[in-house]
Structure 1
Amino acid sequence: MGEELYSIGKVEEICKITKKALRYYDKMGILSPDKVADESGYRYYSKKNLLSVPVIKYYKQSGFKLEEMRAFLQGTTYDFFDKSFRTKIDELRELEKEINLKIRSVRDWHALIVEAQMVIENNVCDVSIKYIDERNLIFLNQNFNYDYMECIINIEFNNYIDSINNAITGPVIICFPSFEDKINGKCSKMKIMQETILKCKDEESIEFGGWLAASCYHIGTHETINETYKKIKEWAKEHDYICSEESYERYVTDYWTTKNTDKFVTEILIKIRRKR
């Protein structure tokens, strides 16, 4: 009595794998039927052949392509297995880095959207004192011409990041050497800064934070941002604080996220200290 054979439909039922996949495996030389009926073309598989399906699924789960599985399934040496698996581990580690970078980028951007949404919904426009955590940011000194869109979606800065093989995340922050010059239309220099995902060299980064700041959100177009600067100046005078000369604009949501300038959220940060 011959070995029992299973139709392709039965294999689909037993192994939870589609007929389409089984036909493709046959085409690729991964799992071929033991018998093909001459007249009908029906495929039949032995129980021994069915046992290849869990192995194939595990290889697939492990990230191997069908072409890579073929040698394993046909029988090969442990040395070949060793080299193939080491190569796959290295490949998956690189993929892991890429996926983690994408997750970080999306997560950080999402956090900014949530922050902006809460600021707008609660109309958070009061000045407050805020401690800015110390960290290192990548930076680039540039000219400033009051074209906010060009400054924030900054081609030169992005090209610079690409040239040093890094990746940026989080809000764009621009430092102005004198906020008085900025609000009076006399500012011509700026420093664009952003957090990097990969570690950068010391000479490519600058320390940011580690100090108290007067913080105030500005909701709406950047063309009216001077109103918020004046609000901070008045608050500092009223509460006996001295503002430092430079200021920082942290773009929570901007042209990167929306074309509706009424929904822009910018946080202005100015270092402060008590009058003595």
Structure 2
Amino acid sequence: MVNKKYFSIGEVSKLKNITIKALRYYHKMGLLIPAYINPDNGYRYYTINQFIYLDIIKICKQSNVSVKEIKALFAKADTNYLKLYLEQKKEEIHKEIKELEQLNKRINILKTAIQTSEDEIVKTGFNIQNFESRYILSSATQEGELNEIKSFDKLDKKLDEFAIQTFQYGLIYTCHNDKWKVSDVFRLITSHDYKLLKDTFNVSELPQGKYLTVNCTRDAESETFELVKEYLEKNSLMCNKIYLFYLVTDVFNQYNHFSQFQISLKSTP
């Protein structure tokens, strides 16, 4: 048997970067039987022709294919079937990559939402800020916390089906006959989703430009809203919509909520 065409289990382990334990397991399961077993000491030996099987096993294992499935694949011994099988796994991997890319995008969006909110919350009093164009998906609602929750639920079902969660959301106050009331709930959506949804759902643009902003705690929203109206009247500023953003800060403290009123100093949609 002393012939260099054979490789010991230790040599195979080093050459193919696979543990001896795994090779013994594959032997036990009948997945990869050594080409030669020394009858005196039980040492296992493999040929170079078997290395391709280890490569296939690695690919399958990395694709979450069970040993039972791999064994059935080898038992079939059909190269054309193997090609079709690998193509299917390739498609599954591409799908998984896209899902992971979407997950990574959502993680970055959430981090951005938290950071943006933390940057905003340190500002005090009324401020004039410049914002880039933003896009919202909205749903009509009636005043009252329960009605708003139901409207958000309706909006989220639509959002989950068609758009990426941006974690930025709030209420729209609309003025009719000099009377202000909550008319809609909204969530910010990406520009990409806006292009997809603008002809289908209730989406609109918050135009680029200057916005009057002021922060408050959730408990002080009503009081702050009155101050906003006074500020607009005192400074002869006209608008027909006021946006209330719920800031994403101190996420795990349910008693520490902050909001920000935003009023476009241009005509808003």
What TM-score does the superposition give when structure 2 sets the normalisation length? 0.73
* 1:116-174, Cα deviation, whole Å (9 max, x unpaired): 33334xx212433334443543332222303599379x433333445xx3243111232
2:174 pairs with 1:177: yes
Contact 1:59–1:69, Cα closer than 8 Å, also in 2: no
**Alignment counterpart, residue 201 of structure 2, candidates 200, 204, 213:** 204
Structure 1 residues 272 and 254: CA distance shift in structure 2, 3 A:
same
Which residue of structure 1 lines up, in the alignment, with residue 263 of structure 2? 270
Instruction: Tell me the CA shift for residue 209 of structure 1.
Output: 1.1
Structure 1 residues 134 and 228: CA distance shift in structure 2, 3 A:
same
Give the RMSD, CA atoms, in angstroms: 3.9
What TM-score does the superposition give when structure 1 sets the normalisation length? 0.71
- Structure 2: any 5+ residue segments left out of the alignment? none
**Alignment counterpart, residue 243 of structure 2, candidates 239, 248, 256:** 248
Which residue of structure 1 lines up, in the alignment, with residue 144 of structure 2? 145
Structure 1 residues 27 and 98: CA distance shift in structure 2, 3 A:
farther
CA distance in 2, matches of 1:143, 1:23: 68
Contact 1:219–1:266, Cα closer than 8 Å, also in 2: yes
Which residue of structure 2 lines up, in the alignment, with residue 88 of structure 1? 89
CA distance in 1, matches of 2:255, 2:215: 11
* 1:210-261, Cα deviation, whole Å (9 max, x unpaired): 15453425253x12123443454454456x4513132111223169x33343
Contact 1:252–1:266, Cα closer than 8 Å, also in 2: yes
* 1:61-119, Cα deviation, whole Å (9 max, x unpaired): 6x473536974798534x54553344334323322331122112111111111123333
Which residue of structure 1 lines up, in the alignment, with residue 252 of structure 2? 258
Which residue of structure 1 lines up, in the alignment, with residue 220 of structure 2? 224
* 1:159-203, Cα deviation, whole Å (9 max, x unpaired): 3445xx324311123222249856xxxx36323333167533622
Which residue of structure 2 lines up, in the alignment, with residue 119 of structure 1? 120
After the TM superposition, which residues 28-39 of structure 1 pair with which residues of structure 2 at under 5 Å, given as runs? 29-36=30-37
**Alignment counterpart, residue 214 of structure 1, candidates 198, 201, 211:** 211
